[in-house]
Structure 1
């Protein structure tokens, strides 16, 4: 094969929403390690966002920080433009900010439903529009990665709004991939299983010491394991990957997320 590599120019600037801790922080740092300046958003933990920014700068890259409240739509999405202006461009958007519920279907209020759908589905939709328009205007293509969940693919009791939003974001990813492909913009989803983060009450947990009998790999995931997949999808090397959903779940989807998180012994391993 001769001629230029189809990956083109390496991405230089990324925006990662919800990057004040957990998967978002790990993604921001992973992208910085791969030579990108990073825009970081936070909702309630400004100090956490500043810590993420310090880690990014520790790898010799620029970091800019802004608050993003996806319950205040459509106006909140302007933060993507603000960060892109401060960075000088945007080559990568990672829609990581999210929320959920642990409420039985019959007890969920309309307000709770709307909040989860706004944060987990409508927010990424509007943020992606902003980023894609800028990518098209600046030329050179781009990368959008939507952080969904294993519940993009399979349900969980008590998480009706979350599952609906993540399932919707998964199909939105596929439509975006089709429509943005002519502009050289790839769009993929990353679907984590149980990851040791503040959202799951496991911040700074040594995942190798935590038993999860219902997960084939036998443990929760580390946020850096998710970030590594995101970093690949955000890179030039992933130039022919679009419209896909990448499960990072230790095999949980092979078991079903309910079994993966609720089985208490290894009896299932025996024929």
Structure 2
């Protein structure tokens, strides 16, 4: 293993991406950070990485502009000198009923949440193969990799697809010493859910066994494990970080008292 490892974390300007970038820096990695619309947030993440004594490189990435956008992974690897870890974290979603979904909405979500990680993973894996000493790829999916949600047809399709893509990547890249795993968060206090930096223990979530949302750092800790040496025999797995949410299917269904669930 090289003396200094380097990671690229997509969508690292806030939320899970930022928490992951900082956690990997704490573990001694230099970190490439991508952003789409929040340059200031990305620079804030870079400052936190540098505060850990590690190098940070920042670049804009628009995953609706494919296939070219995936080249940002290679550009960041060049700036950092190598690439050992890719975290495909950038994502987007919708809250639009299936019958009202426009093709452009569908295409954007599929590009960002599925085609983008596919191509970024290729870019990273090809470099890791050339380096010759293995690597780690972690795809951030969602509990909706495993279970559907009303109003999220393209998001669920993309995340479910990314879950199976993870397994295929794990099979094909194993001979090169590259492990590939998914992390499937539940409701996490991030900008995407309108809760960044909220005190998750002050939130009441009766439908979640742990009775609260998750903190982005709790997801980052699992990603960091999968990106590190101690997970060397783990590949092709999906790790739910959801407070037990996925265990509640029949339980939640049997306790609903109205039709509110039909509304996105």
Counterpart for residue 70 of structure 1 = 63
Counterpart for residue 51 of structure 2 = 58
- Where 1:35 maps in the other structure, the secondary structure is coil
TM-score, normalization: structure 2?
0.94
- Where 2:122 maps in the other structure, the secondary structure is helix
- Alignment root-mean-square deviation, CA: 1.7
**d(CA) in 1 for partners of 2:10 and 2:148?**
24
* Offset, 1:256: 3.1
Counterpart for residue 32 of structure 2 = 39
Counterpart for residue 16 of structure 1 = 9
* Offset, 1:257: 10
CA contact (8 A) 2:14 2:191 kept: yes
Distance 1:113 1:133, change over 3 A: same
Asked whether 1:124 is paired with 2:117, we answer: yes
CA contact (8 A) 2:106 2:154 kept: yes
Matches within 5 A, 1:87-98: 87-98=80-91
Counterpart for residue 244 of structure 1 = 237
Which whole-Å deviations, capped at 9, do the CAs of 1:34-83 have from their partners, x for residues lacking one?
A: 00000000000000000000000000000000000000000111101100
**d(CA) in 1 for partners of 2:195 and 2:230?**
32
Where structure 1 has 5 or more consecutive residues not aligned to the other structure, the ranges are: 1-7, 265-271
* Offset, 1:139: 1.1
Counterpart for residue 5 of structure 1 = none
**d(CA) in 2 for partners of 1:258 and 1:180?**
39
Which whole-Å deviations, capped at 9, do the CAs of 1:168-208 have from their partners, x for residues lacking one?
A: 00000000000000000000000000000000000110001
* Offset, 1:259: 4.0
TM-score, normalization: structure 1?
0.92
**d(CA) in 1 for partners of 2:59 and 2:241?**
28
Counterpart for residue 202 of structure 1 = 195
2:248 corresponds to which of 234, 249, 255:
255
Distance 1:152 1:118, change over 3 A: same
Matches within 5 A, 1:46-195: 46-195=39-188
CA contact (8 A) 1:121 1:166 kept: yes
**d(CA) in 1 for partners of 2:113 and 2:251?**
21
**d(CA) in 2 for partners of 1:257 and 1:114?**
32
**d(CA) in 2 for partners of 1:263 and 1:36?**
46
Asked whether 1:212 is paired with 2:205, we answer: yes
Which whole-Å deviations, capped at 9, do the CAs of 1:132-151 have from their partners, x for residues lacking one?
A: 00000011100000000000
Q: Which runs of 4+ in 1 moved over 2 A?
A: 8-11, 256-260
Count of residues in correspondence between the two structures: 256
Which whole-Å deviations, capped at 9, do the CAs of 1:224-251 have from their partners, x for residues lacking one?
A: 0000000000001100000000000000
